[in-house]
């Protein structure tokens, strides 16, 4: 493990008369956990009011240096001081990241959501682009890791539909699908408004389902039987505040369906418990939700009269999360962050069981399954932080954490910020993540199994080191603790759609054309793609011959002795272009590729994307199910600009 303090960013360029750094905080990791989004809160020495200003920076955790200033991306280096970014979130990998940022011009009322990318392209006003609306007065926002869904909290009524007017003059939550520009009002139970504000907390998208976490005093679930506390207006503060999750399925057409509210803060009698703070963190993961509450009736045996952390599974089971070896913590704990899978969570607590005699709130990382824990806010010598930890973020895998504290005893260096400096406890191993998609349709594939296998003797495959499966966004992430050579390979089971008339006589003819040196594409201006050669080598002898054409025909007519179809997966980074000869390296007489998977040296690999090919489907006619997400043409243009290959390699040419 590496433990270090993050250095101060260059904030001088963001001020008029010099700057004083007040606070440094983490605002999320990239998917490969190599970059960290950092917010700097500072005062401008030329501002006699000492108002707080904000700048966002992208920090390289491996090289321990800043690689980008978001304020400068907004308006250029010379104009960076003219902008405040009050909130930002980062998605993507270190090689291809994007940030959604809430940007304001200093001294001018109003703000706008912008998309800032690693290639320095900027989308100036996301809401204006997708809805033609401006000055929406955004109070909060969340974007899911895929970058498709953007949740927005606002009391401005402009986003409401004409037949569902927003008249409550209160904070509501809306969901913007950035792929379709469709806006859905989330805080609209039973087709009607609620008068109380709804506070956006989180968003999660996986397996064709989008979920949004929020807190509200309003009743969103059966007010007469379950959500009964919402009607009591005269009781103590917090009594009515509950945690909710709104969910919707993505229909085959791409629209939202089966929209439902799920009460998370449920007491032992099955009714709403209340006492969920509107300012606390609320986590969503693939396995469920995490939240904090001071209610004493959510779990049996809750006697500490303090805030505790609770987990609610997708099946509806609710559990108070204690550290098994410590039992109930005397002063409770507060949820802070969770890994994407929910396997690890970060909590804050000043209970003596973890804080000892330090008198300071500590950050604890808990393995939810095993019950093992680690106090992350401790120096490498084991000394607990001598001042409070106030915020922090777990990495997607849960093996690294970044947190802010005013402690002065964690590293030899002096604190870089007066009100809280940023520290990172970083794992020795990093996750490998990426996406998988079909070469011709560009559809993102779910259900692809990724395995990391050890390499012994430079050739043979050893033990299974890690495994993961791609979700409905074609994304996967796994962690290998191996050090040294390994290989990542992919497989996918066939379903009826894969084998039902995908390979036809047209593919047999295409194989025959390739075998005799004729371009199989209708427009011969586009060369035969390397993926077509791979699909055509049905018997896998490294060549395309008339035997492969016959094999394709046997598959097409359904002969029992035909070679079984299968999915093949090619590493996206595999180079098939011969710069000297100006042509692809593959030909009818030479079809060789990384068929065993992508070999790498751990922990150097952070991202590995794969291209899927259906054996025998030479013309790429396989079609994904309706509603499947597709990569845009811009994705492949970026690959071309990066020098990976010509855009035609991915079938970007007229339909065959």
Structural domain span for residue 417: 322-428
**Final residue belonging to a domain, choices 393, 428, 463:** 428
Q: Which residue has the tokens 């489907």?
A: 617
73 within a domain of the structure (yes/no): no
33 within a domain of the structure (yes/no): no
* pLDDT at residue 626 in the model: 82
Report pLDDT digits (tens) over 124-171.
899 999 999 998 999 999 999 989 999 999 999 999 998 889 999 999
Total number of domains in the chain? 3
CA distance 176 to 326: 44
* pLDDT at residue 307 in the model: 97
**Final residue belonging to a domain, choices 305, 320, 335:** 320
* Confidence band, pLDDT 50/70/90 cuts, at residue 483: low
Please tell me whether residues 519 and 384 are part of one structural domain.
no
Quick check: 481 pLDDT over 50? yes
Q: What HEC string does 155-204 produce? A: CCHHHCCCCCCCCCCCCEEEEEECCCCEEEECCCHHHCCCCCCEEEEEEE
Please tell me whether residues 413 and 544 are part of one structural domain.
no
* pLDDT at residue 341 in the model: 87
CA distance 256 to 208: 10
Please tell me whether residues 440 and 567 are part of one structural domain.
yes
* pLDDT at residue 119 in the model: 87
* Confidence band, pLDDT 50/70/90 cuts, at residue 588: very high
Report pLDDT digits (tens) over 447-474.
999 998 887 765 656 678 888 899 888 9
Query: Element (H or E) spanning 552, and its range?
Result: helix 546-557
CATH of the domain at 554: 2.60.40.1120
CA distance 261 to 644: 45
Please tell me whether residues 313 and 343 are part of one structural domain.
no
Report pLDDT digits (tens) over 410-453.
999 999 999 999 999 998 777 788 899 999 999 999 999 999 88
Handedness of CA 117, 7, 337, 447 (dihedral sign): positive
Q: Two tokens at 129?
A: 């682009």
* pLDDT at residue 655 in the model: 41
Quick check: 604 pLDDT over 70? no
Please tell me whether residues 540 and 605 are part of one structural domain.
yes
* pLDDT at residue 17 in the model: 85
Cα–Cα nearest to 289, from 368, 227, 349, 221:
368
48 within a domain of the structure (yes/no): no
């Amino acid at each position: 493990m590496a433990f270090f303090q993050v250095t101060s960013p260059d904030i001088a360029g963001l001020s008029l008369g010099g700057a004083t750094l007040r606070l440094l905080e983490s605002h999320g990791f990239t998917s490969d956990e190599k970059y960290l989004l950092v917010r700097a809160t500072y005062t401008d020495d030329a501002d006699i009011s000492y108002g707080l200003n904000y700048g966002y920076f992208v920090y390289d955790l491996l090289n321990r240096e800043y690689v980008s200033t978001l304020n400068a991306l907004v308006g250029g280096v010379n104009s960076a001081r003219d902008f405040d970014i009050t909130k930002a979130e980062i998605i993507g990998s270190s090689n291809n990241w994007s940030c959604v940022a809430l940007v304001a011009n200093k001294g001018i009322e109003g703000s706008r959501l912008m998309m800032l990318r690693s290639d320095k392209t900027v989308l100036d006003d996301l809401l204006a682009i997708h809805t033609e609306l401006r000055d929406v007065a955004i109070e909060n926002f969340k974007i899911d890791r895929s970058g498709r869904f953007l949740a927005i909290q606002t009391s401005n009524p402009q986003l409401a539909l004409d037949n569902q007017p927003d008249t409550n003059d209160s904070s509501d939550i809306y969901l913007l699908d950035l792929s379709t520009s469709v806006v859905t009002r989330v805080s609209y139970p039973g087709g009607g408004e609620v008068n109380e504000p709804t506070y956006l907390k989180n968003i999660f998208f996986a397996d064709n389902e989008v979920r949004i976490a929020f807190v509200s005093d309003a009743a969103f679930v059966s007010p007469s039987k379950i959500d009964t506390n919402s009607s009591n207006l005269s009781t103590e503060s917090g009594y009515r505040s509950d945690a909710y999750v709104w969910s919707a399925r993505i229909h085959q057409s791409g629209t939202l369906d089966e929209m439902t509210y799920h009460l998370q803060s449920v007491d032992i009698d099955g009714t709403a418990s209340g006492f969920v703070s509107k300012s606390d963190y609320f986590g969503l993961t693939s396995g469920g939700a995490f939240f904090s509450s001071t209610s004493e009736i959510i779990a049996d045996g809750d006697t500490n009269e303090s805030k505790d952390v609770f987990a609610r599974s997708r099946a509806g089971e609710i559990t108070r999360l204690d550290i098994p070896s410590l039992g109930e913590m005397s002063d409770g704990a507060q949820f802070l962050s969770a890994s994407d899978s929910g396997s690890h969570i970060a909590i804050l607590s000043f209970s003596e069981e973890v804080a000892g005699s330090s008198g300071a709130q500590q950050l604890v990382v808990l393995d939810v399954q095993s019950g093992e824990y680690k106090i992350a806010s401790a120096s490498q010598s084991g000394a607990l932080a001598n001042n409070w930890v106030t915020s922090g973020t777990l990495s997607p895998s849960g093996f690294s954490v970044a947190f802010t504290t005013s402690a002065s005893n964690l590293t030899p260096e002096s604190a870089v910020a007066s009100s809280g400096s940023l520290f990172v406890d970083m794992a020795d191993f990093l996750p490998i993540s990426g996406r998988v998609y079909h070469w011709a349709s560009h559809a993102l594939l779910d259900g692809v199994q990724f395995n990391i296998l050890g390499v012994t003797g430079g050739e043979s495959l050893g033990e299974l080191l890690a495994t993961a499966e791609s979700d409905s966004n074609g994304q996967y992430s796994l962690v290998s603790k191996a050090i040294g050579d390994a290989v990542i390979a992919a497989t996918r089971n066939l379903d009826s759609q894969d084998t039902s008339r995908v390979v036809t006589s047209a593919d047999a003819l295409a194989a025959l054309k390739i075998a005799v040196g004729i371009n199989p594409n209708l427009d011969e201006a586009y060369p035969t793609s390397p993926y077509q050669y791979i699909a055509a080598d049905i018997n896998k002898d490294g060549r395309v011959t008339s035997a492969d054409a016959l094999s394709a025909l046997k598959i097409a007519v359904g002969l029992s002795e035909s070679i079984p179809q299968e999915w093949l997966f090619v590493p996206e980074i595999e180079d098939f272009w011969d710069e000297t000869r100006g042509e692809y390296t593959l030909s009818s007489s030479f079809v060789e590729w990384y068929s065993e998977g992508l070999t790498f040296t751990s922990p150097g690999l952070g991202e590995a994307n794969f291209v899927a090919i259906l054996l025998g489907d030479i013309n790429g006619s396989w079609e994904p199910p309706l509603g499947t997400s597709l990569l845009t043409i811009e994705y492949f243009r970026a690959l071309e600009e990066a020098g990976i290959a010509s855009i035609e390699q991915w079938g970007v040419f007229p339909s065959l």
